[in-house]
């Protein structure tokens, strides 16, 4: 029998990276074994659930490349896949347990009668786990308002949907004995459980907004590539035992096993994610990179169709200059700015440090005159600048800093002379002239 797994998010929030990783592990397991990945929306908390959250979760999964075989939008033989549309099934199960003496009424609610003894299960990540039933209270399965509790609905739905493996967060371990008891009472064999350790921030506390972005779609906005986040999340608490870090989805599918999931908590290291993202950005060909940048260039107001046409070669040259340093799409946009607009102000520290010396205006004007005539080639531009500095008895660095401020308004930029070549003589001379006018005599 091929496995059937599910990701069962409650749409009371956005898709958290921890949830996305749980979904990813389920997906990898299903794909590895030719099984079925079910997406079930656990929206029984109507007050806190919203359609906006549901579509955010679906969008997040789609963006990441995690597709589902049964669930919202695609349907399937066990529909409906929204838990709120399955309440009749949950209520019928509660009545059945009541009728068979396995549950009892208590002030309008129905509680499960916990039998004496021990409840055990073998967790694929943590190994054998045993709970003494005397520590499990007779828990509510149907509230007095007629609504099922999480324990009842999750078990009834997992039975109905023929779920064979429940892969979910560690925070559910303490719920699992209740679920095992309910599966058994409802005449079903409990599925295999695999509880995935939680994701922690660098301070070893549960990952939260305090640590930075936690929503998958926020990472999209921050300029991460879905394939990089996918690869990064897959290796967060799961490993192949080798040093290899870059894996295509197909290579991950080939290697994925539940016992490769580590029992210890995984730390979310943004530096590492940036490294993955940089690697994936470097793998993109020029046109692919331009296509990925296009929406963000449009947002910034820099896009023009010629970037894919007459200006493509120029733009590819600009991107080549940025590739070694830009680790996110948003860093490209930031570093591209000077290529699209002249600086509207100059870094105040830079002005104080590099432009306040006496005679700076005359030096900058001399550079402007020089560059109005120099052959437009990186090595020459550098040699000419250095010769000018020497002739005027100042350090070359002074003119380099001034030129960088003139061109970008900033203190850091990609290689200055390569940049000048790409900016062109007219724009370079104009920006140096603008800076000169700002300087006192």
> Catalytic residue numbers?
209
Task: Say how many C-beta atoms besides its own lie within 10 A of residue 172's C-beta.
Answer: 15
Least distance to ligand GLU, CB of residue 200, Å: 18
Adjacency order of strands within the sheet including 192-196: 36-39, 4-7, 165-169, 192-196, 118-123, 127-132
Q: Which two tokens stand for residue 216?
A: 């998958």
Q: Which is nearer to ligand GLU, 19 or 409 (CB)?
A: 19
Please, which residues have CB within 8 angstroms of residue 91's CB and are 6 or more apart in sequence? 142, 146, 148
CB of 44 to ligand GLU, least distance (A): 9
**Contact 99/235 with Cβ under 8 angstroms?**
no
Q: Which of 64, 154, 225, 318 binds ligand GLU (CB under 6 A)?
A: 154
Give the span between the Cα atoms of 29 and 253, in whole angstroms.
7
Task: Tell me: does residue 43 bind ligand GLU (CB under 6 A).
Answer: no
Distance of alpha carbon 165 from the chain centroid: 25
The two tokens of residue 241 are 């035992």
Our CB check for ligand GLU shows the closer of 185 and 318 to be 185
d(CA 11, CA 154): 15
Find the distance separating the first CA and the last CA of the chain, reported in whole Å.
84
Question: Please, which residue, 171 or 311, has the CB nearer to ligand GLU?
Answer: 171
Task: Give the residue from 87, 117, 119, 92 showing the smallest Cα distance to 103.
Answer: 92
Is residue 123 close enough to count as binding ligand GLU by CB under 6 A? no
Q: Which one, 178 or 404, has the nearer CB to ligand GLU?
A: 178
> In this complex, which beta carbon is closest to ligand GLU, that of residue 31 or of residue 168?
168
| Residue closer to ligand GLU (CB basis): 8 or 17 | 8
Size of the site for ligand GLU (CB under 6 A): 7
Q: How far is the CB of 12 from ligand GLU (least distance, A)?
A: 8
Nearer to ligand GLU, 35 or 409 (CB): 35
Q: Is 172 a residue that touches ligand GLU (CB under 6 A)?
A: yes
Per DSSP, what are the bridge partners of residue 142? 110, 148
User: C-alpha distances in angstroms, 150 versus 44, 145, 172, 274?
Assistant: 8, 14, 11, 37
Is omega for the bond preceding 322 within 30 degrees of 0, making it cis? no
CA–CA dist 339, 16 (Å, integer): 36
Contact residue for ligand GLU among 78, 168, 278, 431 (CB under 6 A): 168
Residue nearer to ligand GLU on the CB measure, 97 or 154: 154
How many Cβ atoms from other residues are within 10 Å of residue 297's Cβ?
20
- Nearest to 224, CA basis, from 280, 294, 266, 299: 280
Query: Cβ of residue 37: shortest distance to ligand GLU, in angstroms?
Result: 13
Q: Closest approach of Cβ 145 to ligand GLU, in Å? A: 19
User: Taking the alpha carbons of 15, 20, 22, 27 in that order, is the dihedral positive or negative?
Assistant: positive
Q: Which of 16, 36, 42, 149 binds ligand GLU (CB under 6 A)?
A: 42
Nearest Cα residue to 40 out of 85, 3, 2: 85
Element (H, E) at 166: strand 165-169
For residues 249 and 65, is the Cβ–Cβ distance under 8 A? yes
**Smallest distance from ligand GLU to CB 248, Å:** 27
Instruction: Kindly state the smallest distance separating residue 405's Cβ from ligand GLU, in Å.
Output: 52
Other CB atoms within a 10 A radius of the CB of residue 242 amount to: 7
Which 2-21 residues touch ligand GLU, going by CB under 6 A? 8-10
- Which tokens is 235 given? 């290796």
**Smallest distance from ligand GLU to CB 154, Å:** 5
Task: Give residues in contact with ligand GLU (CB under 6 A).
Answer: 8-10, 42, 154, 168, 172
């Amino acid at each position: 029998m091929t496995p059937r797994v599910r990701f069962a998010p409650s749409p009371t929030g956005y898709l958290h990276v921890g949830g996305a990783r749980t979904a990813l592990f389920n997906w990898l397991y299903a794909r590895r074994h030719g099984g079925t990945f079910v997406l079930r929306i656990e929206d029984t908390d109507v007050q806190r659930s919203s359609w906006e959250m549901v579509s955010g979760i679906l969008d997040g999964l789609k963006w990441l490349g995690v597709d589902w075989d049964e669930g919202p939008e695609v349907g399937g033989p066990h529909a409906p896949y929204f838990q709120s549309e399955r309440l009749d099934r949950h209520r019928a199960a509660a009545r059945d347990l009541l009728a068979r003496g396995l549950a009892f009424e208590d002030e309008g609610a129905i509680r499960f009668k916990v039998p004496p003894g021990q409840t055990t299960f073998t967790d694929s990540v943590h190994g054998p786990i045993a709970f003494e039933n005397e520590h499990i209270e007779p828990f509510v399965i149907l509230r007095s308002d007629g609504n099922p509790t999480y324990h009842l609905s999750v078990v009834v739905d997992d039975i109905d949907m023929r779920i064979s493996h429940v892969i979910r967060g560690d925070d559910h371990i303490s719920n699992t004995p209740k679920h095992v008891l309910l599966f058994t009472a409802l005449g079903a064999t409990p599925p295999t459980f695999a509880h995935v350790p939680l994701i922690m921030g660098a301070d070893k506390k549960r990952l939260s907004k305090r640590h930075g972005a936690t929503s998958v779609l926020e990472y999209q906005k921050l300029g991460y590539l879905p394939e990089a986040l996918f690869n990064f999340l897959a290796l967060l608490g799961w490993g192949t035992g080798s040093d290899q870090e870059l894996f295509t989805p197909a290579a991950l599918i080939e290697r994925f096993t539940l016992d490769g999931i580590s029992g210890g908590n995984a730390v979310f290291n943004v530096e590492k994610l940036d490294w993955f993202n940089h690697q994936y950005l470097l793998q993109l060909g020029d046109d692919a990179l331009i296509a990925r940048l296009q929406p963000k260039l449009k947002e910034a107001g820099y896009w023009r169709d010629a970037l894919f046409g007459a200006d493509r070669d120029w733009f590819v040259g600009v991107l080549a200059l940025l590739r070694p340093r830009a680790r996110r799409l948003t860093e490209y946009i930031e570093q591209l700015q000077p290529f699209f607009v002249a600086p509207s102000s100059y870094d105040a520290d830079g002005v104080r440090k590099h432009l306040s010396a006496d005679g700076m205006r005359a030096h900058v004007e001399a550079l402007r005159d020089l560059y109005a005539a120099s052959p437009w080639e990186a090595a020459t531009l550098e040699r000419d600048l250095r010769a000018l500095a020497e002739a005027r008895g100042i350090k070359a660095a002074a003119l380099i800093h001034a030129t960088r401020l003139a061109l970008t308004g900033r203190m850091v930029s990609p290689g200055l002379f390569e940049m000048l070549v790409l900016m062109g003589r007219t724009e370079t001379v104009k920006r140096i002239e603008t800076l000169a006018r700002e300087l006192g005599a």
